[in-house]
Structure 1
Amino acid sequence: MPLFSHHKPRVLLPYALYLPQGQAPRGGWPLILFLHGSGERGRDGKKQATVGLGPAIQANPKSWPAVVLMPQCPKEAQWRGEPLARAYELLGQVETQYQTNPRRVYLTGLSMGGYGCWNLACQYPERFAAVAPICGAGDPFLVWQRLSRVPIWNFHGAADEVVPVSFSRALTDALAKAGNAQARYTEYPTEKHDVWNRVYRESEFIRWLFAQQKRKTR
């Protein structure tokens, strides 16, 4: 039985979905939205699960006790505008269908998906319990303006040959100026672009991610 189910709805984006084994914890499973990179774009609904978080889950499913949504961006598009809006709409549908924990919704992505993380988090800063962009970039002004209270752990390789590490450094500065005391930044001094292979297997990161919860609202 495959770990991921694949879906090709007529209106929304194709997506892969991971459902953990066993009984859901009190409050429901956490929910992770994963945004893939440019090389995984398409319409097959499968490719986006083959790079980054998907292989990490395949290697050690017990480390990822969450419902994981992996939408697929169209070939000529990026994680902004309509594709990003559709991914966000899918998130709401999955949340309702599987009764996931509304206090434990997490956002992560790599490369083009790292850009998407910053974009979506700036649009909906109250939506996510934590955000983990990997080797992406965003608008420092919007990050400073919108993400002063969101737990964020950003990752980048200093030797990145695709997305300059200076982008993440600028966003780290923006978060510091915003007074975000829950922001973390890890820069791997010798790693290149594909740092996601390391990040999604880091036990410290996984523990941090699942420890984040939004406060209960009265």
Structure 2
Amino acid sequence: MATATVAGVLAVLAVLWSSPAAAGCGGEAGICEVAEGVYRIALPDNAAGAPVVVFLHGYGSGGLRVMGNTALVEGLTARGYAVIAPDGTTRGGGSRRSWVFGPFWQGRDEAAFLADVLDDAAARFATSRERTVLAGFSSGAFMVNYLACSHPEAFAAYAPVSGAFWRPQPEDCAGPVRLFHSHGWADGVVPLEGRILGGGRFEQGDVFAGLELWRRTNGCASHAPVVTMAEDGVLRRRWVCGAGAGIELVLHEDGHLVPDGWPEWMADWFESEPAVR
């Protein structure tokens, strides 16, 4: 391993090990094991009954990188949330981790794995099993959309960051959800309109086409949002479609990243109406 890479890993570990919010599960510091994989967790000051944000990493990354995002983790733990960062799986003996969804490779049952993670965290740390949000960035955000579509009751809400569906996107989803989609206006990795990859073999979907599917799934009375807001370079559109069936789109000025303000935006939204269906 290159010296610079080693230094980078040690720097991330130093952040994790020095944080009072980090929780260990024995063995390697911060690693919690369930049957089909591992996760890391950061806890708020009062973990008992704390709501949970499970945040899925992007392609080629891992839960350790998520935990190294201090703006994300500390922003959520300061609001009283536990943050769980699972690891995706590798493909064909490679080292790059991702998630099993949509048109991509077969593998781990991600819905079952994430259910085990929530159950394990609740048993170990007394975190909530009902007030839960599945969030993720890039490839993790694609996973969020696909799991929300196939298992809408698995989490109380879903919050993808810079990712929707791939084409062809699902024709139907299993049921309504609360969805908080945020995206960078200047995102060139996952553009709002999607893009073609792999010499035409894969095509990222259009975010707005995905939102149309969600409006239909949620039984929204109108394509037009009921609320539009603009402040400090952040644009919001909100659809209120009934209990457990809200949608909010947040567009920010940046590119392919998790904006520093995301924890506050998401927590405000999640807490704006009852989260338990």
TM-score after normalising by structure 1: 0.79
Post-superposition Cα deviations, 1:120-150, rounded to whole Å, max 9, x if no partner, equal: 2223211211111010122575374224x21
Instruction: Verify: 1:142 aligned to 2:170, yes or no.
Output: yes
Counterpart check, 1:209 vs 2:270? yes
Cα contact 1:13–1:83 (8 A) shared by 2? no
Structure scoring higher RCO (CA < 8 A, sep ≥ 6) equals 1
Please say which of residues 114-123 and 15-24 is displaced more in the overlay: 15-24
The corresponding residue for 2:98 is 78
Equivalent of residue 184 in structure 1, options 248, 265, 268: 248
Does 2:83 match 1:68? yes
> 1:11 Cα deviation (Å)?
4.8
Divergent runs of 4+, >6 A: none
- Structure 1 CA distance, aligned partners of 2:50 and 2:192? 34
SS where residue 160 of structure 2 aligns?
Answer: strand
Code of the aligned partner of 1:111: S
Aligned mates of 1:184, 1:10 — CA distance in 2 = 33
2:65 alignment partner AA: K
Contact 2:41 2:83 in 1 (8 A): yes
- Paired residue for 1:120, among 122, 140, 147? 147
What percent identity do the matched residue pairs reach?
25
Q: CA RMSD in A?
A: 2.6
Q: Using the alignment, how far apart are the partners of 2:50 and 2:34 within structure 1? A: 27
Shift of 1:199: 4.5
Q: Which protein has the bigger helix share?
A: 1
Q: Matches of 1:70 and 1:116 in 2, distance apart?
A: 14
Letter of the aligned partner of 1:40 in structure 2? S
Partner of 2:235: none
**SS at the partner of 1:127?**
coil
Q: CA–CA distance in 1 between the matches of 2:117 and 2:34? A: 13
- Equivalent-residue separation in structure 1 for 2:34 and 2:210 (angstroms): 37
1:33 correspondence with 2:54: yes
Change (3 A) 1:197 1:68: same
Distance 1:175 1:102, change over 3 A: same
Q: Say whether residues 1:170 and 2:197 are aligned partners.
A: no
Q: 1:104 to 1:191 in 2, by over 3 A?
A: same
Question: Which structure's residues are more often strand, by fraction?
Answer: 2
Is contact 2:57-2:66 (8 Å) kept? Answer: yes
Helix, strand or coil at the partner of 1:142: coil
Give the distance between the partners of 1:210 and 1:39, measured in 2 at CA. Answer: 32
Distance of aligned partners of 1:68 and 1:23 in 2 relative to their CA distance in 1, 3 Å threshold: closer
User: Matches of 2:41 and 2:47 in 1, distance apart?
Assistant: 17
Distance in 2, Cα, partners of 1:68 & 1:23? 11
In structure 2, which of residues 259, 268, 277 is the aligned counterpart of residue 197 of structure 1? 259
Letter in 1 for 2:46: G
